[in-house]
Amino acid sequence: MTRACFAALASHWRHNPLQLFAFLAGLALATGLWSGVQAINAEARASYDAAAATLGEGQFDQIVPRAGDRIAQQDFVSLRRAGWLVSPIIEGRLDGVRVLGFDPLSSPSGASVGEIAEAGDLDSFLSPGRLYATAETAQALGDGVTVLVEDTVAPGVAVGDIGAVQQLLGRTDLSRLLVQPDQPLRRPALADVAPHLRLQSASQSADVGELTESFHLNLTAFGLLSFAVGLFIVYSTIGLAFEQRRGMVRTLRALGVPLPRLIKLMVVEVVALALVGAGIGVVLGYVIAALLLPDVAGSLRGLYGAEMAGTLQFRVSWWGSGMAIAVLGALAAAGGRLWQIARMPLLASARPRAWAMTLGNAQVAQGVGALGLLLCAGALAVWGSGLVAGFALLGCFLIGAALALPLLVRPVLTLAESTAKSPVARWFWADTRQQLPGLSLALMALLLAISANIGVATMVSSFRLTFVAFLDQRLAPELYVEAETAAQAAQIEAAAPRLGATALPLLVRDTHVAGQPTRLFGVRVGPTYRENWQFLAATPSAWDQVAAGAAAVANEQLARRAGLWVGDRVEVAPDRMLPLAAIVADYGNPLGQLVIGETLFQSLYPEVSARQFGLRTDDPTAVRRAMTDEMGIADSAITDQVALKAFSMGVFDRTFTVTAALNVLTLAVAGFAMLMCLLTLADLRVPQLAPVWALGLTRRRIGQLEVIRALVFAAVVCLFALPVGLGLAWVLLAIINVEAFGWRLPMYLFPADYAGLGAYAILAAGIAAAWPAIRLMRVPPNALLKVFAHEH
């Protein structure tokens, strides 16, 4: 009996190949989008980890030469013999590959490529002439070098024993030294052992942590959104298939198939089909990720100077989650339908309900559900805290908005109908309204896709604008110099005018403000600050007050953590209270900062002298050369901020490329959902359209009206998607980002972008409607006539 039942179930798909295609393709697309985003995410994280593990930079203090990029090996020996626990690093390029040599015995734990040693043979690691790299990097290195393939090494980097790398690079010196975190009790000053070297503390290295985290958050949010869109597609395709088989279920039961067995068989069927669809989807996701990966790799190359492999690894984390979601989503979607079938009286009408009638009670339930979810989102926005609450809010808000959509679209259509004059127009609106239940899932998916696009576009573009402003603010001086000694600092300040530069000394002292660890800055207020600093909130003459020593400026992190805002008073020194004149946005920095005037700082902390200087100049190259050549300042102590700014912008622009590509994909998936719904409905529509045809409307005209209907739906959905998308952006910027990083991104609006997105969405709907409309136009007249014949 089981085989017969399966044959009956399968016959449905045989007779409706399009539906089978919709089912599998819907699942495949949803899974593909999800697993594609996950794959990119997983690959990005794995690359960060590998890069961090391989390089160990930023994590440890380093000793670098004051000038040049080489350290004599004898310096390493002298430092060790003096009690400095340092580990040698040599770095160079071989056939375009970054080659890194280290000493596994002295390297601080966490810096070494421990996993290489774990996987490989240590005797062989210490053997001369051997390197470890990924297969791709190994190929680039050519035949002259023995390279052992090791996937845990960062892409584009080959690592090896210090001796092996020295030999390969033909060098006998070193590039830099890593400083162990734990140092012995009695350690001489660095200047006493190696005055030509300088200590670069870990915190001074470019901190990209916050930026990469933002990048992750961006992708994670996108993964979530694409999942929501995908789930709607799965739900709608499965719902459709089950509705259409009600008649067959009745027949099978009438023939004596027990209900439990039938339900079991249908579950098996759903799971089997879900696995097939998801399997295709995983492959699709792989392709999506592989296509987008060059851009992601570009972003990472910018962030780390290290490459991400152009090939993907098949990680369980993303394909597993894609499969699981497809199966669970399919089962969840089927669950409701199976429940209905289980409760269906044996001889009940097999008429497919959902596709012909309004839903009555279901509509009320949907309304209650939407309201509940939106209220829940509101409550989370007001009272929730933590990143999980932020994402829960996002979920509640999106699904609530999607559920509310049909209920909101209906009054719009009723209104349009009431204003229509001609009979055809009245029929058009009435018929459109009648299509609403059948199309509602596709419309919800479209709503989610459009609003996700609006939301993410707003977030990313706001991020970009804010970040440009922030870079201008923080990297305004063309050069940044760090002095070794007070004498050198004085020399820099004195020499600046002669070199045609303006020196902006920065006084720094770590302290506690309002119980928060805070870095207190004393600045020389001038045009650089007045023109480039953007305040989140400020009194009218904030900089004047700061210059006069009558007020302070706090960064957003400090203000939020200590619950301070403009006008509140803070203690900048014992018994010295100042009001806050402004709050400044400070991205990419986890610490609290407080800025006061240079004069006040000097009177409060006379023992602190300025060691850091911003230099404003028209010719950074010449000033830099003068500083290194004439004044003996270490080249590594000078930062070219113009280059830094350009580099940072490059990183973000690559992020946008990835986001834009994902936008197009989401929209395409939503368009596909609409196409599938319309195609399925087209067959059911014949009996409904036959009377209109009989009344004199040509098939061509009917087809045109079908396309117009799709465009109307898309336009209405776009209208609703705008507030939803903006709400989504607000949640991402004002709630999730604050929870994740402690700073809020200002939200900017981009109406032209939204108009463009709307046009794309309507275009997608039009394309989706075209094929079903053409099919309708080609329905042979006798098929339409048969409708009347069957009625009698």
Partner 1 sequence: MSIRLLLFLLLWPLSVFAQGFAGLGTDAQKFAVPQADPQFDFPADHGPHPEYRIEWWYLTANLTSADGTQYGLQWTLFRTAIAPGEDAGWSSPQVWFAHAAVTTPQAHFATERFARGGVGVAGVQAEPFRAWIDEWAMEGADFDTLTLTAQGPDFAYDMALQAQGPLVFHGQHGFSVKSVEGQASYYYSQPFYKIAGTLILPDGSVEVTGNAWLDREWSSQPLSDNQSGWDWFSLSFDDGAKLMGFQLRQRDGSLYSASTWIGADGRTTAYPDGAFAAQPVAQSDVGGRDVPTTWQVQLPDRGVDVRVEALNTQAWMPLSIPYWEGPVIVEGSHTGVGYLEMTGYE
* Contacting positions for partner 1 (CB under 8 A): 73, 76-77, 80-83, 85, 103-107, 109, 112, 114, 117-118, 122-123, 126, 128, 161-164, 166, 172, 182-186
Closest to 582 in 3D by CA, of 558, 561, 601, 565: 565
Which one, 174 or 300, has the nearer CB to partner 1? 174
Which one, 114 or 650, has the nearer CB to partner 1? 114
State the minimum distance, in angstroms, from the CB of residue 111 to partner 1.
10
State the minimum distance, in angstroms, from the CB of residue 104 to partner 1.
4
State the minimum distance, in angstroms, from the CB of residue 22 to partner 1.
52
3-state secondary structure of 122: helix
3-state secondary structure of 505: strand
Which one, 159 or 542, has the nearer CB to partner 1? 159
Which one, 117 or 631, has the nearer CB to partner 1? 117
State the minimum distance, in angstroms, from the CB of residue 158 to partner 1.
17
- Cβ–Cβ under 8 Å, residues 731 and 393: yes
Residue 322 CB partners (closer than 8 Å, separation 6+): 31, 32, 34, 35, 38, 278, 281, 282, 285
> CA–CA distance from 676 to each of 19, 163, 277, 441, 656 (Å)?
8, 63, 15, 11, 31
Which one, 165 or 376, has the nearer CB to partner 1? 165
State the minimum distance, in angstroms, from the CB of residue 72 to partner 1.
12
Which one, 38 or 112, has the nearer CB to partner 1? 112
- Listed in sequence order, the DSSP H helices in 94-245 are 114-119, 122-125, 135-141, 162-169, 190-193, 209-244
- Cβ–Cβ under 8 Å, residues 529 and 649: no
Residue 67 CB partners (closer than 8 Å, separation 6+): 196, 628, 634, 635
Which one, 117 or 267, has the nearer CB to partner 1? 117
Question: What φ, ψ does residue 619 adopt, rounded to 5°?
Answer: -130, 75
- Cβ–Cβ under 8 Å, residues 394 and 728: yes
User: 422-431, long-range: CB within 8 Å, 24+ apart, which pairs?
Assistant: 424/697, 424/705, 427/692, 428/705, 428/708, 428/709, 431/688, 431/709
The Cα 391–Cα 394 span in angstroms is 5
Closest to 364 in 3D by CA, of 410, 412, 323, 424: 410
Which one, 3 or 81, has the nearer CB to partner 1? 81
Which one, 163 or 378, has the nearer CB to partner 1? 163
Which one, 166 or 212, has the nearer CB to partner 1? 166
State the minimum distance, in angstroms, from the CB of residue 60 to partner 1.
15
State the minimum distance, in angstroms, from the CB of residue 126 to partner 1.
6
State the minimum distance, in angstroms, from the CB of residue 113 to partner 1.
8
Tell me the two tokens of residue 777: 């136009």
- CA-based torsion, 259, 260, 261, 263: positive or negative: positive
State the minimum distance, in angstroms, from the CB of residue 79 to partner 1.
9
Tell me the two tokens of residue 475: 């990297």
Tell me the two tokens of residue 246: 């009600």
State the minimum distance, in angstroms, from the CB of residue 84 to partner 1.
8
